[in-house]
Amino acid sequence: MNADILALRIGLLGLGTVGGGVAEFIQLRSSRLTHLFGCQLQLARVLVREPRKQRSIDLPPELLTTDPGAVLDDPSVAIIVEAMGGEQPALDYMRRALRNGKHLVTANKEVLAKHGPELLALAAQHNVDVYYEASVGGGLPLIGPFKRDLLANQISSVRAIINGTTNYILTRMAEAQVDFAAALREAQALGYAEPDPHNDVSGLDAVYKLAILATLAFHSEVRPDQIYCEGITKLTARDFRFAAEMGYQIKLLAIGHDRAEGIEVRVHPSLVPKAQLLAGVNGVYNAVELDGDLVGRVLLYGRGAGSLPTASAIAGDVIDLARNIRKGISNRTEVTLGPTRRVLPMEDVSTRYYLRLHVADRPGVLADIAAVLGRLQISIAAFIQQEVDAARRSAEIVIVTHRAHEAAIRSALDEFAGLTSVLEVAALLRIEDGS
């Protein structure tokens, strides 16, 4: 081997969708990388649960092991790529790798969101690096731009579609006017949703990713348990119809704002004006939009998941690490967290709202509702009254508000519960118009 070529031995944890993509990439692309960057990636050992399982990728059987120590404690391994997912045992393995002086590249959003600052501190202590581009947005460059290219900016807000499963489901609900359950079954049949879709449709996956992005954007630790979260399971074809009529798409947005009073972070279905680029992000694609004081508005768009896009991000991290290793340095991009800032409770957030109500079909009902909203300083921007259901003697109304406080909206819902004229609050959604 040419003396200028750096051999880098990689220990891989997990050989599922993500790990399989990484192994495939190293096998197929190693010679191109050697040619372009003078570094040769070698797969040293792969930790798996079932060594004899049939896999789409064909690896020499002696590479596979069920013993974590055979990977984590191998002194020839310079970089551990963690592709197992889940909090444990991944977290313990990652700690052990760092303590053993190995660099870490991970796609694990849950561990990064919950324990990122701890792992980064542990890495600094052992003079190694943690790279995690693959943890948010698949192959879409996000962590890199935040940590490098956009770093001079004060970021005032982030709005992101960062879960491909829910974006696929919402795209189908908008296109085909089907309800949530039908769109979910379709996504499952296509492999875009897991058999147990809870983490995606509840919004939890987006919460982990927002915790990572908001921490980077606002230079202050944001934990998943500080993020308000609503999933997409209650959305109905009816709300998609009204939203479309009023010029909106419905998207599950992960939103972060840097406010004078603190950081605002929330994940929930949002009405997005159709003229905005985010409204045109369809199917399994992800997009992150941010506002920086110097750069203005930036949007980054791409495939947020999948084997090869995630391998692309991991490979980019490994190449960047290889450059450090060649130069004999580490911990080049220090973590740049400022003092921890307050995260606003949801009650203190203000935004615009979409309310769908079933009301009694009789005189005075609108006056009742308008009186409640007026007392709470909630001002009405648009109003639709739908056809009356004669049999039930009820009518359906949709109200769009100007900017109002979440606390005021919650009080309004409480007061509606006490009105005999309001039969049901069928939907409460938030509007994100980018202002």
Active-site positions read 209
Q: Output the six-digit token pair for 97.
A: 């790798």
Q: Is residue 312 a contact point for a second copy (CB under 8 A)?
A: yes
CA distance 158 to 287: 10
Q: Is residue 36 a contact point for a second copy (CB under 8 A)?
A: yes
DSSP-assigned letters across all residues of 9-38: EEEEE--SHHHHHHHHHHHHHHHHHHHHHS
Q: Is residue 34 a contact point for a second copy (CB under 8 A)?
A: no
- CA torsion 38→39→40→46, rounded to 10°? -170
Q: Is residue 277 a contact point for a second copy (CB under 8 A)?
A: yes
Least distance between a second copy and beta carbon 324 (Å): 8
Q: Output the six-digit token pair for 192.
A: 């875009």
Q: Is residue 141 a contact point for a second copy (CB under 8 A)?
A: yes
Applying CB under 8 A, which of residues 152, 367, 381, 388 lies at the interface with a second copy? Answer: 152
Rg of the chain on CA atoms, in Å = 25
CA distance 58 to 431: 49
Q: How many helices (H) and strands (E) does the chain have?
A: 13, 17
Letters for 193-232 (x = contact with a second copy by CB under 8 A, - = none) are --------------------------x-------------
Residues 6+ apart with CB under 8 A from 101: 126, 127, 128
Applying CB under 8 A, which of residues 1, 294, 390, 391 lies at the interface with a second copy? Answer: 294
Instruction: Please state, as a whole number, how many other Cβ atoms lie within 10 Å of the Cβ of residue 262.
Output: 16
Instruction: Please choose, out of 68-76, 207-215, 239-247, 334-342, the segment that lies near a second copy by the rule CB under 8 A.
Output: 334-342
Instruction: Please choose, out of 98-106, 191-199, 309-317, 419-427, the segment that lies near a second copy by the rule CB under 8 A.
Output: 309-317
Q: Is residue 133 a contact point for a second copy (CB under 8 A)?
A: yes
Complex with a second copy: residue 301 or 383, whichever CB lies closer: 301
Applying CB under 8 A, which of residues 188, 233, 324, 386 lies at the interface with a second copy? Answer: 324
Closest CA to 68 of 87, 54, 89: 89
Applying CB under 8 A, which of residues 297, 362, 375, 393 lies at the interface with a second copy? Answer: 297
Applying CB under 8 A, which of residues 87, 149, 175, 225 lies at the interface with a second copy? Answer: 149
Applying CB under 8 A, which of residues 67, 194, 225, 334 lies at the interface with a second copy? Answer: 334
- The alpha helices in 39-179, defined as continuous H runs, are 68-72, 90-99, 109-125, 143-147, 164-176
Please report which helix (H) or strand (E) contains residue 211, including its range: helix 204-218
Q: Is residue 292 a contact point for a second copy (CB under 8 A)?
A: yes
CB contact at 8 A, 152 and 229: no
Complex with a second copy: residue 134 or 355, whichever CB lies closer: 134
Q: Is residue 176 a contact point for a second copy (CB under 8 A)?
A: no
CA distance 228 to 173: 24
Least distance between a second copy and beta carbon 148 (Å): 6
Q: Could you tell me what percentage of the chain is helix, strand and coil, using 3-state DSSP and rounding each to the nearest 5?
A: 40, 30, 35
Complex with a second copy: residue 66 or 127, whichever CB lies closer: 127
Position of tokens 């982030």? Answer: 158
Q: Is residue 51 a contact point for a second copy (CB under 8 A)?
A: no
Q: Is residue 83 a contact point for a second copy (CB under 8 A)?
A: no
Instruction: Please choose, out of 91-99, 297-305, 396-404, 409-417, the segment that lies near a second copy by the rule CB under 8 A.
Output: 297-305
CA distance 72 to 80: 7
SS3 call for 297: strand
The site for a second copy (CB under 8 A) is made up of 21, 25, 29, 32-33, 35-38, 133, 138-141, 144-145, 148-154, 219, 277, 280-281, 292-303, 306, 308-309, 311-313, 315-316, 319-320, 323-324, 327-329, 332-334, 336, 338
